[in-house]
Structure 1
Amino acid sequence: MPTPPVNHELSPYTGRTRGHWEHTADQLLLAVRPYASTRHGLINLPGDRPSWSGPRSDGLEGYARTWLLAALRIAGAHGDDPHGHLGRYAEGLASGTEHPLPTGESGSGAPDSWPRMAEVRQAVVESASVALGLRLTRPWLWDGLDDRVRQRVVDWLLPALGPSPVDNNWWFFGLTVAGFLQDAGIETDRASATVQRALEHVDQWYLGDGWYSDGPNRSFDHYNGWALHFYPVLHAHLGDNRELLDRYGPRLHAHLDAYTRMFGADGAPLPYGRSLTYRFAAAAAPWLGALTGHTPLTPGATRRLGSGALRYFTDREPGRGATDERGLLTLGWRGPYPPIVQSYSGPASPYWAAKGFLGLLMPPEHPVWTAVEEPLPVERGDAAVTLGPPHMLIQSTASDGLVRLHNHGSNNDVGAEEDPCYARFAYSTRTGPASAEVRDNHFGLVLDDGTVTARGP
């Protein structure tokens, strides 16, 4: 596929257009095809190690997260599917749910079978991507499925409507499944109760000014954008629920007012918090603001932020950027980088970056694609901005395009083993967290045995 030409008149900062986003989505989707199981139920990407959920669970992750990318690509093109993605994922939907298994491990059982949520809780995470993809593409995929296949898919999805097995952003996975079932007219009372329960539970973590804590602690990171705002606001938008949009949209607007200051002039998001391997998923919340109208950004500034992040991770030679020589997303940051990868991540985990393609839901004639790019906050002048709820300070300098985070009050899990992605006192868009053994940006006491005290909340 030829790469679209850069357009510096429309996009003076990045040169990128909607065509570049479509091209990148197609490249990522075509690159994973050789790793699909016989009937496309699992996408078993190569890697040095599986996640802690097992290889079968990782194969489901490969299916679900690339399916979400395909769904955004196809829905944004109003069903046009020149590469035939829908047929492959429809077959995988049928084969994966034909004989679900009580394990995330490979071995016995059909090679396409998905793990069941009752035994493999990672399947709850992936159910949200499966369901959101079905909701986005319902006219072109779900409505044409055989009734028996649809029933099997529903049976597999329904356990997600129970209470969340993890007390953090996971509550919104059930909400996302429920949103699809509501649209499809399936188990609507139960689905409605799931939505209400999830929203009420997560609301207790909202601290104002657009900031949630990701659970009952002081954990503030990119999950605010790509999960805690993403799921409820997108759910309200897709369901045309004005009441929910009026409640959660202004929170997104407030969050973006600060969040957009966390991107360097080179497009880099601040490498702070966990799951950094999701990379340009960091652009999801700004796109969502433009999609719903709840944003302080102009259309040109929104695209400049999103395209800048995409270019930062992909505009490097193969093997040194986000993708390897095979076109597969790697575990890491700008390139492969094991020190920031969590034990729950497997070879397909980076494809949560699919959320960064949310902008494709806006048509080519939308101002977010037609307006001339405008500068980011870091490019408009020096600034030092305090963020009240997370107790952080964002400092940026226009001369070098650098953003620095001074972390005065956020830590993920006090008392546990110190996490360098959360516990340091400073981060920047030009540096990454070092390993736990290297105490950069840390104040502590050196004890008699040589150990260094950890920071508190």
Structure 2
Amino acid sequence: MDRREFVTGAGLALAAGMARGETTGAQPITGVRQQWIAMVEKTAGPVLTALSQRRLKQVMPVECKPGQEESRRLCTYLEALGRTLCGISPWVESGDSGKYAELAREAIAAGVDPTSPDYMPFGSIAQTLVDAAFLGLGILRAPRELNQKLPEKTKQLLIKGLQQTRTQKAGMSNWLLFAATVEAAIEALGGSWEKAPVELALAKHKEWYLGDGVYGDGPHFHADYYDSFVIHPFMLAVLESPVGKVGVGPELAEIEPKRATRYAAIQERMIARDGTWPVVGRSIAYRCGAFHLLADMALRQQLPEHVAPAQVRGALTAAMQASLGARGTYDSNGWLTIGLAGHQPSLGEPYISTGSLYLCLEAFLPLGLPADAPFWKDA
């Protein structure tokens, strides 16, 4: 597969004319926000609706590399749940998501109840640590709707599930932050958390900082989007949690927001006027989720001084349309397919399956901002 096909696919997706930062700003602002909500409902709706009915395993396809089907079925459903909630949780927390708050709580209940046909075996394979962490980050981003309002039985089962992922040891990479985030979520839910994974994750990432907002994924530089997919957003959440006060946490808490802001500036400049961006590294099929960090900093209202919120709104909208708007992105039943702009199955690594693809929703974090925030109202 020639990765440059993305440009062609994106051009088709943008034929209606979404020039980066121009037509977006000229449209009625409520129209742009509603456009985002429509994309979220189209993408997240099938996952949460099926889970609320306890039918996800029955209806969600498992697209993956040939030969990986058995292992992916152990984690793909947790991936779909965790990555979906990680992306839409600020919108759910805002109180503006209508039915989606209750759907999210019912989806969590379906995944942690051992009697449910959609029960998710936390800790069964290494990948479940990753997506327990995405689910945990979603919980941290919605303390009222996805923590305080969870039924107590569901909360206790969720704590147990998160704790079961401790059997999977994180390697010396961004995975250390997954283990730390799981502990942060356990603490937030009222469970017994462990200090060692948090201390190790923070100490190693202090050591792995390379400069200019960039961390190594481990001790070495990697030309990919993992500073955005994982490292900055997860580290910020851990450092803001009570668990982040251990070890070098207080020191990192002083400097990490500045580093994240710098990397957000780099990310904003990566998005071209037509919504395309440099296709480098792995996990290309996460589509516009490559801008998780830029979306997070917009939500936090901590964008670089020279980057206007409306500028980011235009950039993210164009990136969403370039990737999610391409023909073939969804199958005939509304499930995401592997690819960057449309259905491009050869872009999926062995660890990629249908559930993985819902990381694209992390680009929608600014829906947690009120409709009258500068991000939405400024031209």
Structure 1-normalised TM-score? 0.68
The answer (yes or no) to whether the contact 1:230–1:288 under 8 Å persists in 2 is yes
Task: Give 1:11's aligned amino acid.
Answer: G
**In the aligned structure 2, how far is the partner of 1:228 from the partner of 1:43?**
33
> Which residue of structure 1 aligns with residue 9 of structure 2?
none
Distance between the aligned counterparts of 1:249 and 1:262, measured in 2? 20
Question: Which amino acid in 2 is paired with 1:271?
Answer: V
CA contact (8 A) 1:330 1:350 kept: yes
The amino acid across from 1:268 in the alignment is T
Query: Structure 1 pair 38/178, CA: closer, same or farther in 2 (3 Å)?
Result: same
Please tell me the residue identity of whatever aligns with 1:323.
Y
Among residues 233, 245, 250, which one is paired with 2:236 in the alignment?
233
Which residue, out of 117, 120, 135, partners 1:130? 135
* Structure 2 counterpart of 1:115, from 118, 121, 127: 121
Following the alignment from structure 1 to structure 2, what is the Cα–Cα distance between the partners of residues 67 and 180?
Answer: 14
Q: 1:152 to 1:270 in 2, by over 3 A?
A: same
Shift in alpha-carbon separation, 1:222–1:348, aligned structure 2, 3 A: same
Distance in 1 of aligned mates of 2:223 and 2:28:
29
Structure 1 residue 69: Cα displacement: 3.6
Structure 2 SS opposite 1:32: helix
Indicate if the aligned counterparts of 1:269 and 1:282 stay in contact, CA closer than 8 A. Answer: no
> Which amino acid in structure 1 is aligned with residue 106 of structure 2?
E
**More off after superposition, 348-357 vs 23-32:** 23-32
TM-score by length of 2: 0.81
Greater share of strand residues, 1 or 2?
Answer: 1
Task: Output the CA distance in 1 between the equivalents of 2:107 and 2:23.
Answer: 42
Cα deviations by residue, 1:269-313 (Å, 9 ceiling, x for unpaired): 211110011111122222222325152422122112211211212
The residue that corresponds to 2:292 in the other structure is 284
Structure 1's unaligned 5+ residue stretches are 1-5, 100-108, 373-457
Q: Is the 8 A contact 2:288 2:323 kept in 1?
A: yes
| Percent of aligned positions that are identical | 24
Please give the residue correspondences for 1:144-183 in structure 2 after superposition, counting only pairs within 5 Å: 144-160=149-165, 164-183=169-188
Query: Number of paired residues?
Result: 349
Which position in structure 2 is the counterpart of 1:395? none
Q: Deviation string for 1:297-350 (max 9, x for gaps)?
A: 22122112211211212334x42xx33343322101101112221011111211
2:186 is matched by which residue type in structure 1? Answer: L
* Residue aligning to 1:375: none
Q: Distance in 2 between matches of 1:252 and 1:331?
A: 29
Paired residue type of 2:236: V
Could you say what the CA RMSD is over the residues aligned between the two structures, in angstroms? Answer: 3.1
Out of 266, 273, 289, which is 2:281 matched to? 273
Alignment partner, residue 413 of structure 1: none
Q: In the TM superposition, what is the alpha-carbon distance from 1:261 to its structure 2 partner?
A: 2.8
Instruction: Specify the code of the residue in structure 1 equivalent to 2:86.
Output: L
Q: 1:254 to 1:9 in 2, by over 3 A?
A: closer
- Give the 3-state SS of the residue equivalent to 2:25 in structure 1: coil
Where do 5+ consecutive residues of structure 2 fail to align?
1-17
User: Quick one: which amino acid aligns to residue 306 of structure 1?
Assistant: L
Alignment of 1:385-424 (within 5 A): none
Q: Is the 8 A contact 1:128 1:173 kept in 2?
A: yes
* Residue 51 of structure 1, CA deviation: 5.0
Amino acid at match of 1:174: A
Contact residue 176 and residue 235 of structure 1 kept, 8 A: yes
Task: Kindly indicate whether the alpha-carbon contact (under 8 Å) linking 2:330 and 2:337 is maintained by their aligned counterparts in 1.
Answer: yes
**Closer/same/farther in 2, CA of residues 299 and 69 from structure 1, 3 Å limit:** closer
Select the residue among 280, 295, 317 that pairs with 1:307. 317
Question: Secondary structure of 1:22's partner?
Answer: helix
Distance 1:110 1:269, change over 3 A: same
Q: Secondary structure at the match of 1:65?
A: helix
Map 1:199-348; keep pairs closer than 5 Å.
199-236=202-239, 244-290=252-298, 291-296=300-305, 297-316=307-326, 318-319=327-328, 322-348=329-355
Q: Which has the larger radius of gyration?
A: 1
Q: Helix, strand or coil: the match of 2:210? A: strand
Richer in helix (by share): 2
The alpha carbon displacement at 1:237 in A equals 5.2
Determine the C-alpha separation between the residues in 2 that align with 1:288 and 1:54.
28
Deviation at 1:228, TM superposition (A): 1.2
